[in-house]
Structure 1
Amino acid sequence: MDRLAPARAVGFLTAQPIAHRGLHDWRKGVAENTASAFAAAIAGSYAIECDLQLTSDGEAVVFHDEQLERLTEGTGLVKDLTAAGMKQLTIRHSTDRVQTLAELLAQVKGQVPLIIELKSHWDGDERLAVRALKVLKDYRGPYCVMSFDPDVIAAVRRLSPATIRGIVAERASDSYYSMLPLAKQMELRTLSHLSRTVPDFVSFYFEELPWAPITALRADGMPVISWTIRTPAEAAMARRQSDQITFEGFTA
């Protein structure tokens, strides 16, 4: 497989382990994707992985799920609430409230790298990418954006070519992907989108490594980070097949 992206300064991606949704620990009242989890990651000198969703009024908020129930006492969908409504929600097992992307950037202030996942509804909507790129435009710390959805990363490439971008991937063979058109499933399974997404890195599911297409990309110089590592034994395995780990539940 040909190396498609030009070489760029992406060393920050592999310089330090990446705390998945921040350095969270429910047992200590530190919930995922919260200011407390990000503060803990900064204190540990870990890079931060986080997730963005779009609100009804077009704001990028730091939240993983499409629905509210698992993480908050709220009900329904993130996309149906305003940013103000989201910011009123307290995350379960913590005292933290939902942050906007702008609030996250103000907290981190370039102290550690940010690896920001743009969540997708697989519907061609580019508004989250547009909003995130606008908020990130003047941020001076190291960061990148990534998504499972090639359409989102193709949009990032078109809207902001200088932004470091990546594909989150796995072999796309489980039942989750059956909701997608067959052509989209095949694009994900074969990485045939690379000619239009032209990613700077890949974030890949560690349990499905090694995989020949990823091995080839890595051999050609593309950084590969792996997710989600939950034990030291998994970390040792993942580090043999990738350049850095995204971890949770232990100290990497």
Structure 2
Amino acid sequence: MPGLDWLTARPVAHRGLHETARGIVENTASAFSAAIVGNYAIECDLQLAGDGEAMVFHDETLDRLTERRGPIAALSSHELKTISFKATADRMMMLDDLCTLVEGRVPLVIELKSHFNGDARLAIRAAQVLQSYAGPVAVMSFDPAMISAIAMTAPGLPRGLVAERKLLSGIGVGTATYLGAVFQARPHFVAWSVQDLPASLPLLARYAFGLPLLTWTVRTDADRARASRWADQMIFEGFRP
């Protein structure tokens, strides 16, 4: 896809520029605002609320980061927005809220979380919200079915594949089945685990097919050197490039 130079133009802050010691929790307005001030692109995650709304949150459950317990999918978006995080005054955001906050000032790279069960509601809802967003934005997922749903629902929205070496064993599918699904999804870029670089599939995508290659999650000097050698840009956390 032409016109994706913005995707690799600057380092991407993993779940925003978060720092728990300073009360800045991942995937919150504070983390995203800090990334904007630092002029970093923002990576974030979406989960599906019980009412079908796209919520900015990484985990399937509330347990790790909030004062509540249980699955995200058991509560409505309205209920989720009232729940306190453990270390900050921030509240969970909907994708609409994130778009309003960022307003195109830095690129957004949004990961769609999936249960690998064929449920494409999150992809469809994200596409609906993002169709009116004017800033640079891309979506990505470990699940090729999510990328395919974006391709069908919003073909002009940049879409990418997230992957790592252990993915196939984790989701219980064969290599041929997975690669067939990826081919059908037609990703515009790839985001690959930095710990697995170099690897044949992402480098084939980069050099043979000309797809931008992001790498995650860069945390150390060794990671950073590997990212610089093998990828077009890094998704980082724990330091400021």
Question: TM-score scaled by structure 2?
Answer: 0.96
**2-structure distance, mates of 1:216, 1:57:** 40
Aligned to 1:116, which of 110, 121, 135? 110
Q: Which position in structure 2 is the counterpart of 1:196?
A: 184
| Cα distance per residue 1:55-87 (max 9 Å; x no partner) | 111111100000110011111100010001100
The 5 Å alignment of 1:1-252 reads 7-172=1-166, 177=170, 180-183=171-174, 187-188=177-178, 191-220=179-208, 221-252=210-241
Overall identity of the aligned pairs, in %: 47
Separation of aligned partners in 2, 1:131 and 1:120: 13
Residues in 2 aligned to 1:142 and 1:43: alpha-carbon distance in whole angstroms? 17
The question of whether the paired residues in 1 share the 8 Å contact of 2:192 and 2:213 is answered with: yes
CA drift of 1:174 comes to 7.7
Runs of 4+ in structure 1 deviating by more than 6 angstroms, as ranges, are none
Code of the residue aligned with 2:117 in structure 1: it is D
1:49 aligned partner, one-letter code: E
Measured after TM superposition, the shift of residue 172 of structure 1 is: 2.6
Instruction: Give the AA of the match of 2:150.
Output: V
CA 1:91–1:227: 2 relative to 1, 3 Å: same
Classify the secondary structure of the residue corresponding to 1:79: helix
Alpha-carbon distance in structure 2 between the residues aligned to 1:172 and 1:77: 25
Partner amino acid for 1:25?
E
For normalisation by structure 1, the TM-score amounts to 0.92
The alpha carbon displacement at 1:124 in A equals 0.6
Question: Residue deviations 1:72-126, cap 9 Å, x none?
Answer: 1111100010001100112221111101100000000000000000100111111
Query: SS where residue 91 of structure 1 aligns?
Result: coil
Give the drift of 1:212.
Answer: 1.3
Q: How many residues align?
A: 240
Partner secondary structure for residue 50 of structure 1: strand
Residue 232 (structure 1) shift: 2.9
Distance 1:250 1:58 in 2: 35
Deviation at residue 173 of structure 1 after TM alignment:
5.5
Q: State the alpha-carbon separation in 2 of the partners of residues 63 and 173 from structure 1.
A: 21
Larger RCO of the pair (alpha carbons < 8 Å, separation 6+) = 1
Whether the 8 Å CA contact 2:206–2:213 is kept in 1: the answer is: yes
RMSD: 1.4
Take 2:48 and 2:182, find their aligned partners in 1: how far apart are those partners? Answer: 25
Compute the displacement of 1:193 (Å): 2.6
Unaligned runs of 5+ in 1: 1-6
Name the SS for the 2:61 alignment partner.
coil
CA contact (8 A) 1:144 1:164 kept: yes
Q: How far off is 1:35 after superposition?
A: 0.2
SS at match of 1:182: coil
Structure 2: segments with no counterpart, 5+ residues: none
